[in-house]
Amino acid sequence: MAEAPPAATPPVTGAATVPAAPATASVTALAATPASEASRADDDTFLLLREAARQNDAARTNALASRLPNYVLPGYVEYYRLKPRLREATQDEVLDVLRRFEGSAVADRLRTDWLLELGRQREWNLFEREMALLTRSDDLQVRCYALLARALRGERVAAEARALLVNPPAYGEGCAALMTQLSQLNGFGEADLLAQLRLAGEMGATGPSRRIATLLGASDTRAAQAVDVPAVAMARGIGANRVEHEIYLVALGRMARTSLKLATVALEKNSSKLSAEERAIGWANVALAASIVLSNDAHDYWKRAAGAPLTNFQLEWKTRMALRRGDWATVAATIDAMPPALAAESGWIYWRGRAHDAQGRKEDAQALYRRIATPNNFYGQLATEELGELVSTPPLAAPPSPGEVAYVAALPAMRQAMKFYDLRLRAEGNREWNWALRNLSERQLLAAAEYARRNELLDRMVETSLRTRNELDFNQRFPAPHNDILQPAAKNLSLDTAWVYGLIRQESRFVSDARSGVGAAGLMQVMPATGKWVAAKIGLTDFVHDMLHDARTNITLGTNYMNMVLENNGGSQVLATAAYNAGPGRSRTWRGVLDAPMEGAVFVESIPFSETRTYVRNVMSNATNYAALFDKRPQSLKARLGTIAPRGGSGALP
């Protein structure tokens, strides 16, 4: 069969158009009231104001904001008016806006922006006062500034900084300043900075690599070359000291991503000039590159890397390659070497349990499985099966009452969210929606999910319902809209309806007009080129790109493409799902390196692309829950994953 281009991207939120199920209470959805010409004009002005703020046009934002004295989103009018001139604004101006809208999402957003400015200006007293009032402190630079303020007061924050500084591409000025201060205060020694240099190189972060090299007294130019043009950096030689050796090893790791052979030859050639630890670091860099392409040589490279300090990414890939070999002793040892926060992730708890099982430690394994067993996610479902149970739907919570739905509908943040959705400003709407959910009880969360359903916001319904832990409604979590279209389409192609719904839930959360940054569109996030290709294959002669937003056309094209990649992958839903997301060529490549059948869960765990790995996990987990809902009986995720055979085999063995 001719190869089609990749068809999909990760979930994108947009405006859904079809309710999921009949209403369970008497409160109706928002009435669509005709907007007056004046209100429409105000909406247009507000959109212009938002755009002017995005362009940092202070004069225009002030002029536009002055035309909206009584707009229904007053906090945002003031926020957009102030944002372009936040650096020059007086303390009283900012505090006035914060006081007037305290407790709102927009006040928290303004406070975050202001904290970044206060951090840059080193206004620590005011910074720490406002930091204490911040509700959501998830901005990395704000958190770095907070640690910097404490360090300047004489507090020891190095351990917290090590735990925080794990993503160099996102560091910015705040985290760079924190690192500089800690190096000056001897909180960060050479070993810490070398670890940061390795991390920046691994993630391709040129700017942080330059700054870290400078702190180490090395050439920032050579550090940048090691990341961007590793061949040039390697041609300069390994250098004369420890830091220059490390820069060379960064270049070696970057080169290994392009050519394992050149990297291994270079490392062998210079091995005698490196210390034992440096050689181990070099082999760890090579082993990581080999692991990402699923090379069988990775095992030997990891053995030669013994003693190297490994990054989290390296620890994860060393574990995955051990899983592929069935080397449970290495799986256990490597997970045990992970930092506590990483080892506590459900995936690594599951695989640690499997290692215990393989080593005869049944009780220890069962204890780990019980920690994560749940029908809510991939690893929880696998753990449930390891405990001897199948995946089933939990008892349905009592439907929310009219009063419960009315309560959440009246929340100020919820009303603002609905206004943003009306303006087709999805991101702002979601921010206000999530703000409204803070501190709600589980009953109130179910009511909010029901309110979302009645307003045809199925993505919000799903995401809101997912927040409950005891009051569960899987009809909210796993809706099945468009059944009049999807059921016949799947039946005509002999496709598993649960799998199709599982894929749509991951792709678009049932948002009909979802559009990704690369152009994938509609419920099944079909790429325009793929849509055109499939349309030609099935004889849809009048296809144009805009038809991808029509639910019937999108489902027709998407299900036909699913059927094509399924047939092309021997009937394996795992391989077909990977092909739908990453493209058929990549799925064939990943299968092509197999020399023996592999457990489906291990194959999924070792998919090289993080996006596709997460995507396949979610689709297969979704499909298992949909099957339990549709068939009204327990299901097996492990059976659905099957065994992945080498190319030329049957594709999915029972």
Final residue before a domain boundary, out of 422, 457, 477: 477
Residues 209-266 have pLDDT tens digits of: 999 999 999 999 999 999 999 999 999 999 999 999 999 999 999 999 999 999 999 9
pLDDT digits (tens, 9 = 90+) for 286-306: 999 999 999 999 999 999 999
Q: pLDDT of 563-600, one tens digit each?
A: 999 999 999 999 999 999 999 999 999 999 999 999 99
449 domain-assigned: yes
- Domain ends where: 278, 309, 340? 309
The separation between the first and the last C-alpha atoms of the chain, rounded to the nearest angstrom, is 25
* Domain boundary, last residue among 423, 449, 477: 477
The pLDDT tens digits for 402-450 are 999 999 999 999 999 999 999 999 999 999 999 999 999 999 999 999 9
* β partners of residue 653: 643
Rounded-to-integer distance, Cα 438 and Cα 136, Å: 11
pLDDT at 35 over 80: no
What is the sign, positive or negative, of the torsion defined by CA atoms of 571, 572, 578, 582?
A: negative
Q: What pLDDT was estimated at residue 8?
A: 38
> Is 609 within the bounds of a domain?
yes
Burial class (CB in 10 A: 0-12, 13-18, 19+), 507: buried
Query: What is the CATH number for 488?
Result: 1.10.530.10
Give the chain's mean pLDDT: 92
Identify the domain containing residue 229 by its residue range. Answer: 189-309
Predicted local confidence at residue 642, as pLDDT: 97
Region 601-622: mean pLDDT is 98
Residue, of 57 and 516, whose pLDDT is higher: 57
Tell me 69's DSSP state.
Answer: T
CB 511 within 8 A of CB 577: no
Residues 428 and 490 both lie in one domain: no
Helix (H) or strand (E) holding 599: strand 598-599
- The verdict on residue 487 lying in a domain is yes
Single-letter amino acid code for the residue at 426: R
The answer to whether residues 121 and 152 touch, using CB atoms and an 8 Å cutoff, is no
| pLDDT exceeds 70 at position 394 | yes
pTM for the predicted model, two decimal places = 0.91
Kindly state whether residues 471 and 488 are assigned to the same domain. no
Are 203 and 264 part of one and the same domain? yes
pLDDT at residue 5 tops 80:
no
467 & 521 share domain? no
Q: Do the Cβ atoms of 472 and 395 come closer than 8 Å?
A: yes
CA distance 293 to 374: 32
Residue 490 and residue 594 in one domain:
yes
Residues of the chain above pLDDT 70, percent:
94
Res. 488: pLDDT tops 50:
yes
Confidence of residue 29 (pLDDT cuts 50, 70, 90): very low
DSSP 3-state assignment of 179?
helix
Instruction: State the Cα–Cα distance between residues 486 and 124, nearest whole angstrom.
Output: 58
Whether the per-residue pLDDT at 649 is higher than 60: the answer is no
CA distance 38 to 58: 25
Contact status, residue 607 vs residue 292, Cβ threshold 8 Å: no
Note the pLDDT tens digit of each residue in 341-391: 999 999 999 999 999 999 999 999 999 999 999 999 999 999 999 999 999
Whether 28 has a pLDDT exceeding 50, the answer reads no
pLDDT of residue 34: 56
Number of domains composing the chain: 3
CA separation for the pair 211, 193 (Å, rounded): 10
On whether both 574 and 558 belong to a single domain, the answer is yes
Closest residue by Cα to residue 313 from 104, 490, 167? 167
d(CA 360, CA 605): 23
- Contact between residue 622 and residue 367 where contact means Cβ atoms under 8 Å apart: no
pLDDT of residue 137: 86
- pLDDT band for 515, please (50, 70, 90 cuts): confident
Average pLDDT over residues 160-165: 96
